[in-house]
Amino acid sequence: MIRVLFLVICLASAAIGGVYDSKPIPKRKRHTVTDFIYPYFEVMAGVEKITTKIKTESYTHWYHDKKLDEMVYDEDLYYDIYSFNGAGPNIEAKLGVQLIKHVAFFLNLGLAWPIGSSHYKYYSLDKEEYIDRGYIYQPFFGVGTKVYPFVQWLPVLDGIFIGASLIRTYANGSWEDYGMTYDNHEDGYKLEAGHLWNITGHYFIGITANMASYSCSTSDAYSHNAFGIGQNPTRPPDESKTKVYGISLTVVFK
């Protein structure tokens, strides 16, 4: 009886082993480019604060004092002095690709229209200053990158990102109405940081804080001679600073 029972156990084991041996071995998955590169699309809408200051140092630092009726030297003599201070809405879109879910490369395209006051002054010694109030439309474009350092590593910090872009922005060129020879575009960079939350599938929503710095030069439309009859000498401004600080609601597909 024991021999018969032992024989039955052996046959059953052989049958079970044969069933498992007959299953096909799964093929190893081959990775393709689409496993590492994903489309990236982002839309931002928010508000920003902008300040601009542009002025050019005098060549000679001499000016004619009407009261004294003589030439006077001033170390701090500047001309074509322009400034703007305002705030307003902005929108921006980014289109590109994302690599291994951690790094995105994209093209920037956007528009800002802050409202504020523009100040114009021909010389630093002038008491008279011209002030215009209203909107300034500033379209801009550039290229940039954004890093998501904690994706799939630390779930608590999964949505944090940082980014940087090289930007060219266009002003309305209102200083040309006052004979100032500055370009109507500025070049610079923009930095941003924020956090995203997953809504569903590939869609995310979050908050982005950003800051930017731009500067401009003299216009190519004018002669670059040192002196010209009836116009100020054209040269790059000694001080050209535009600072932007903003916050935006961000929607991302990745």
What CATH number corresponds to the domain at position 198? 2.40.160
Q: What is the pLDDT of residue 35?
A: 59
In a domain, 20, yes or no: no
Answer whether residue 27 is part of any domain: no
Residue 28 lies in a domain: no
Per-residue pLDDT at 246: 97
Is residue 12 domain-resident? no
> Whole-angstrom Cα distance, residue 38 to residue 202?
10
Q: Please state the three-class secondary structure of 165-229 as a single string.
A: EEEEEECCCHHHHHCCCECCEEEEEEEEEEEEEEEECCEEEEEEEEEEEEECCECCCCCCCCCEC
How is residue 191 written in tokens?
């930095």
Mention every residue, 6+ apart, whose C-beta is less than 8 A from residue 157: 150
Residue 225 is encoded by which pair of tokens? 């001679």
Residue 8 forms part of a structural domain: no
- pTM of the predicted model over 0.95: no
Q: Which residues of 75-113 are buried (b: 16+ CB within 10 A; e: fewer)?
A: eebbbbbbbbebbbebebebebebeeeeebebebebebb
Specify if 11 maps to a domain: no
Number of domains in the chain: 1
In a domain, 5, yes or no: no
Range of the domain at 51: 34-253
Q: What confidence score (pLDDT) does residue 38 get? A: 87
Which of 253, 254, 250 minimizes the C-alpha distance to 92?
A: 250
Q: Does residue 208 lie in a domain region?
A: yes
Q: Among residues 62, 76, 56, which one has the least CA distance to residue 181?
A: 56
Pair type for strands 62-65 and 70-73: antiparallel
- The angle formed by the CA atoms of residues 139, 142 and 143, to the nearest 5 degrees, is 155
Question: 215: burial class by Cβ within 10 Å (0-12, 13-18, 19+)?
Answer: middle
Residues of the chain with pLDDT under 50: 4-8, 11, 15-22, 31, 33, 221-227, 229
